[in-house]
Copies of this chain bind each other. A is one copy, B any other.
Amino acid sequence: MAVTDHEHPIDPERVAHARSRIPSADDVARLTGLLSMMADPVRLRLIYALDVAEELCVGDLALALDVSEDSASYALRLLRSAGLVTTRKQGRVVYNQLAHNFPQPLKDTCLRQLVTLTHTTDNEPPA
């Protein structure tokens, strides 16, 4: 027979190596959660806006993003529950700002660099 020359683990060495380096399921879950939070046009632009303007209330935020107040409010709700945005209440106006522990590299590096990157790199093969 010798038919099954190579079953599934074709390259067990590399598999083991990869396995040892892959972050734990817990880390991945946390990271994907964070990425999912940013993988939404409204939320992402909202983060940009707060990064630039320091703090904004929901109404102004909706204006800046050209979305309904409800949409902005909903986005803020999620970002707040994820700990990425904090609020400062002054009178009846609630000012929203990026949490001080907002992942700096993500903000500084990724946000700005990625825009440039997506300009230069064409990852859209002709359909």
A residues with a Cβ closer than 8 A to B are 8-12, 14-15, 17-19, 21-23, 25, 27-32, 34-36, 38-41, 44-45, 48-50, 52-54, 56-57, 59-60, 62-65, 81-84, 93, 99, 101, 103, 105-106, 109-110, 113-115, 117-119, 121-125
Contact = CB atoms under 8 A, between A and B. Distances in A.
Main secondary structure of the interface of A (DSSP, over half): helix
Count this chain's copies in the assembly. 2
7 contacts: A21-B48, A27-B115, A28-B44, A31-B44, A81-B125, A106-B117, A110-B110
List the 4 closest A-B pairs by CB distance, nearest first: A83-B123, A35-B39, A18-B49, A36-B39
B18 A115 contact: no
A10 B83 contact: no
A85 to B, nearest CB: 10
A59 B121 CA distance: 29
Contacts of A22: 45, 48-49, 52, 64-65
